[in-house]
Structure 1
Amino acid sequence: MDIRFSGSRSGTAPLTWGQRAIWDAIRKTAPDDHYFNFGRVLAVPRRARPLTVARAAEVLGVLVERHESLRTRLSAGLSTGLETSVGTGPGAAPSPRVPAQTGGQDGGAEPAQVLGTAGSIPLTVSRDDPERLMEELSATPFDYAGEWPLRVGLVVAEDETVTHIVLVFCHLAADGLGAEVAITDLRLLLLRGAVPGPTPPSPLDLARWQRSEPGLRVARLAAEHWEREYRRIPPTMFDRRVAAPEGPPIWRAQLVSRALDLAVQRIAAVYGTSTSTVLLAASSVLVCAVTGHEVCAMLPIVGNRFRQDAAQAVTTLSQEGLFVLDVGGRSFAEVLRAAKPAALRAYRSAYHDPGDRDRLTERVSRERGTRVHPYCCFNDMRFIDRVDASHDERTVRLAMEETTLTWPLSQDQLNCRFCLHVTGEGGGLGVSLTADTRYLPKEAMERYLRDLESLLVEAAFHETLEPVG
């Protein structure tokens, strides 16, 4: 069975800023670009059961019709001019047939986004564990020009009723926050048959706004920050190859630590900031310790949902900001105080035109006589921030005995050299470090994560933390 949909309009447009940013990362990571696929599992609400496969397909079709990004593909060779072309109604011209897989190809015109009116998405029906099904659906790259940017699996019970719905997103269609909107809307459709409120803006709408005068003004302010900081940061944070890789050069280490979670909550509460800023500051301190630089330049992934009309959009709005922190000669408390305004500047810089960033990168790199790019990123993927100053030292130190470290991933290609991901895990705070082992060997990756835990546990109880204001 397929998910069938029929939307109200079709059209083509240039890529939005968020689409272009992730497309650049996809090209540089291919053929391992399945790295960017991600999924969500929805347990069918009790009040929506029993749910048949046919009814699930019908509801999913309504979801795809509501969120145009889920029926938007790429097409190389279409116009990438500044005007958006939109057709309306079921009689709108269909998208032209386009070549398959375009990921990883360098050069050539930037592809356009193509919104389709009608089509179908295949359903995978399984009795497998939903998490395992999500892994299977995520395991291969999307055909960005020929495949709809959503894969769907249904987990069924012995009586063939649906117990779980698995959605796997192409990152060109949604980011983490956009996926949460899609899951919320899917739950509402199952329970109520409709989603209240107006339809949120689509990538076509965002592309139009970003090329308006207000959008260009936002882009100019962001570009000024990038250019100013690019003139003073180390050209690259991890600038020396120190080892030959054993097997694939890219590895991921994941630390899961309840002690780290409790310590970060305490520091954030005492300092009056977010746990994300605390982790960003501590990560920067240790990057400088590893690399020998006194200034850390890190690229935090920012949701960019500050505009009210975009808050409920299912699309990819997340982009890299530029976080710059002077670390040399400062205590951790001093670094924390400096991190808060530096983080705000970084968040504002994240909503930028990647074309502006490319141009200024080339200009500043020529002027400095070397390529300027941090190759060092930070992605806090949590949706809830908890702060609590009441955690006591004995409890936190005992929790360190529960800390685990695993190696869940290795691959050949990545568009970065150091990527730190923060997640909420059942056993505490999850911090994953994905790195190029030619620049940071596996033993150094493990030491980095252990040092991050130790630094923050010590800081939670033995650093003089003075609240701001």
Structure 2
Amino acid sequence: MAIAGPMVETVLGGVRMTDRIVVPFEGPGAGIGELTWGQQKVWTLMQQAGTSLSMGGAVPVADGRTVQDLAVELAFFMCRYASMRVRIRSGEDGAVVQEVSGSGAHALGIIDVADDEDPALTAQRLADQWDATPFDHAQEWPIRMAAVRARGVVTHVVVTISHVATDGAGIAVMLTDLAERDPVTGEPKNPAPTMGPLELAAQQRTPAGQRQNEASLRHWERILRSASPLRFGPHVDRGEPRYRRAYFESRALHMASKAVAARLGAPESSVMLAGYAVVVARLTGINPSLIQVVVSNRFRPGIADVSHPLSVNGLFMADAANVSFDEAVERTQRASALCSKYAYYDPRQLEELRARISEERGDVIELSCLFNDRRLGADTDVSMPAPSRQALDAARDESTFRWGEPFAEYLDKLMVQVSATSDAVELEVQVDTHHVSANEARALVLELESLVVRAVG
């Protein structure tokens, strides 16, 4: 692929580059239309948070790739995925619309570091600055990419993508497609996705799409009309920082959740969600647990390989506090199946439904407890032997809890996100400490670990 084209500004995402390579692109799916349901949800969150909820970071390059190689990778993303060619603006009637371009030019930024500078620090500074700088979605492509060079050799690549263009599973699709290109021709292994954001938005407007939307709204209405309006206790001013995040890394929780899943023949995600439902009920004294669970929707026909965001919140409710943990997992599996089935809807209509129910009940139904299992492909190995009590106790001694950088603003009261390293589970806890104290947040993850470890048997 030739790297040539019109001049492109050397400032990317508000950061001036040392140099740049112009990357022309051309791809299918061009047109103008409304946002998909997933994009609508993300767009609303972005406007409320005042950020692009960006994903990405700085990645070391140790395989000899050059700036030309990285430019080809950027071109691959721009040509193959229509969501990377989206600009978002107000339409003639004032509604938000997206415009997918069929061709154009982007730029790979290049930053050269001085001999006495650390390229890793430069790459991380750029990643942090891009993460903190909202995209101009009406003018800017939703992906930023730059190479960091030291003495003429690429040491890092920095990539930041706006959440309105993709989600975690979408990035995984993009990276898999990139890795599976033919090493000689550079051609991808699989055909390009045919379901771009405009095509998906059109599908969601069809009678079949509207039937799914109506069924999902009935599920939400049924739960919202029966749930307690409160999730947490009253507001208590505990000073600053109010909005905090913490990280809990546990090899014991990793081992135990796998063992319990294998023993029960259940998904690991169900074990983790069951544990969360139990400890939240114990923390708040409110049962059944009502939790918004992030659902990817990629299990639905025809959209597994798209890049644009498909994750929305499903509504999960289960009485898991006063039963055995095995029973809690079973109840969680049943409730999770309904949660996932009905997590595909028009967000605007859902908000109208929530407002109507709150008005009729005379109470705002609080939905500020969230759970997001970001692990991909965590299959249950039913043949896996259970770890010994000695091994679990030793692993628990290694567990770590630390506070990260606080949020300037935060939209919810409690959220736990699950990630995994090669041999541990990492829980990221996001909390409004005026409703869930810092001590309660720490106690919650420790109790979750203890609960699942005890359930190994």
TM-score, structure 1 as length reference: 0.85
Structure 1: which amino acid aligns with 2:282? A
Aligned to 1:24: 44
Distance in 2, Cα, partners of 1:136 & 1:45: 23
Helix, strand or coil at the partner of 1:143: coil
Contact 2:182-2:189 at 8 Å conserved across structures: no
Q: Within 1, Cα distance between the matches of 2:302 and 2:159?
A: 24
Change (3 A) 1:163 1:11: same
Aligned to 2:138: 145
* Alignment correspondent of 2:433: 437
Q: Distance in 2 between matches of 1:140 and 1:156?
A: 23
Question: How far apart are residue 306 of structure 1 and its match?
Answer: 1.6
Please tell me whether residue 316 in structure 1 is matched to residue 330 in structure 2. Answer: no
Give the match for residue 13 of structure 1: 33
1:92-133, Cα deviation, whole Å (9 max, x unpaired):
xxxxxxxxxxxxxxxxx5411121233333433246225665
SS of the residue corresponding to residue 269 of structure 1 reads helix
Q: Residue type matched to 2:130 in 1?
A: L
Structure 1 regions of 5+ residues with no counterpart? 80-108, 462-469
Q: 2:80 aligns with which of 66, 71, 75?
A: 66
Displacement of 1:143: 2.0
C-alpha change, 1:363 and 1:352, in structure 2 (3 Å) is same
Letter in 2 for 1:267: V
Distance (Å, rounded) in 1 between the aligned partners of 2:395 and 2:43: 41
C-alpha root-mean-square deviation of aligned residues, in Å?
A: 2.2
Amino acid at match of 2:213: A
Give the counterpart letter for 2:249 in structure 1: V
Q: CA deviation digits over 1:218-255, x for unaligned, max 9?
A: 111111111101111122312521x3243232101110
Cα distance, 1:136 vs. partner?
A: 3.9
Query: 2:276 is matched with which residue?
Result: 283
TM superposition shift of 1:40: 5.8
The residue number in structure 2 matching 1:75 is 89
Instruction: State whether structure 2 residue 352 is matched by structure 1 residue 359.
Output: yes
Separation (CA, whole Å) in 2 of partners of 1:205 and 1:244: 47
1:116 corresponds in structure 2 to 101
Q: SS state of the match for residue 263, structure 1? A: helix
Q: Percent identity?
A: 31
Q: Which of 149, 159, 162 does residue 167 from structure 1 map onto? A: 159
Q: Which amino acid aligns with 1:39?
A: G
CA distance in 1, matches of 2:212, 2:366: 22
Question: Contact between 1:225 and 1:349, CA under 8 Å: does it hold in 2?
Answer: yes
| Alignment partner of 2:322 out of 325, 329, 333 | 329
Q: How does 1:292-311 map to 2 (within 5 A)?
A: 292-311=285-304
Give the superposition deviation at 1:164. Answer: 4.5
SS at match of 1:225: helix
AA at the equivalent of 1:212: T
1:233 counterpart residue number: 227
Matches within 5 A, 1:373-384: 373-384=366-377
CA distance in 2, matches of 1:246, 1:170: 32
Higher alpha-carbon deviation: 421-430 or 223-232: 421-430
User: What is the rounded CA distance, in whole Å, between the counterparts of 1:114 and 1:415 in structure 2?
Assistant: 29
2-structure distance, mates of 1:119, 1:155 = 24
Provide the rounded CA distance (Å) in 2 between the counterparts of 1:375 and 1:67. 33
Contact in 1 for aligned 2:268/2:378 (Cα 8 Å): yes
Change (3 A) 1:280 1:398: same
1:21 is displaced (CA, Å) by 0.9
Q: C-alpha separation between the residues in 2 aligned to 1:412 and 1:40?
A: 20
Residue 75 of structure 1 aligns to a residue whose secondary structure is: strand
Q: Distance in 1 between matches of 2:357 and 2:72?
A: 52
Distance in 2 separating the partners of 1:64 and 1:273: 39
Give the 3 Å change call, closer, same or farther, for CA 384–312 of structure 1 in structure 2: same
SS at match of 1:237: coil
Deviation at 1:300, TM superposition (A): 0.9
Question: How far 1:289 moved relative to its partner?
Answer: 1.1
Over residues 281-303 of structure 1, what are the superposed CA-to-partner deviations in whole Å (9 max), with x where a residue is unaligned? 11111111111111111111111
Q: Choose which of 187, 199, 203 in structure 2 pairs with 1:205.
A: 199
Q: Distance in 2 between matches of 1:55 and 1:78?
A: 41
Q: Distance in 1 between matches of 2:23 and 2:172?
A: 20
**1:376–1:418 CA contact under 8 A, matched in 2:** yes
Q: Which residue is equivalent to 2:54? A: 37
2:291·2:371 contact (CA, 8 Å) conserved in 1? yes
Distance in 2 (alpha carbons) for counterparts of 1:131 and 1:264: 33
Q: CA deviation at 1:422?
A: 0.2
Q: Secondary structure at the match of 1:293?
A: coil
Q: Deviations over 1:392-427 (max 9, x none)?
A: 111011111101111112112122111110001356
Please report how far the alpha carbon of residue 311 of structure 1 lies from its aligned counterpart in structure 2 after TM superposition.
0.9
Q: Distance in 2 between matches of 1:131 and 1:187?
A: 24
**CA distance in structure 1 between the partners assigned to 2:35 and 2:49 by the alignment:** 19
Give the Cα separation in 1 of the matches to 2:173 and 2:379: 21
- Change in Cα spacing, 1:22 to 1:10, as seen in structure 2 (3 Å) is same
Give structure 2 stretches of 5+ with no counterpart: 1-19, 114-118
Residue 78 to residue 455, structure 1, CA distance change in 2 (3 Å)? farther
Question: Secondary structure in 2 aligned to 1:299?
Answer: strand
Query: Is this contact kept in 2: 1:78–1:112, CA < 8 A?
Result: no
Matched residue SS, 1:4: strand
1:93 corresponds to which residue? none
2:451 is matched with which residue?
Answer: 455
Give the C-alpha shift of residue 451 in structure 1.
Answer: 1.2
Equivalent residue number for residue 249 of structure 2? 256
> What SS does the corresponding residue of 1:73 show, helix, strand or coil?
strand
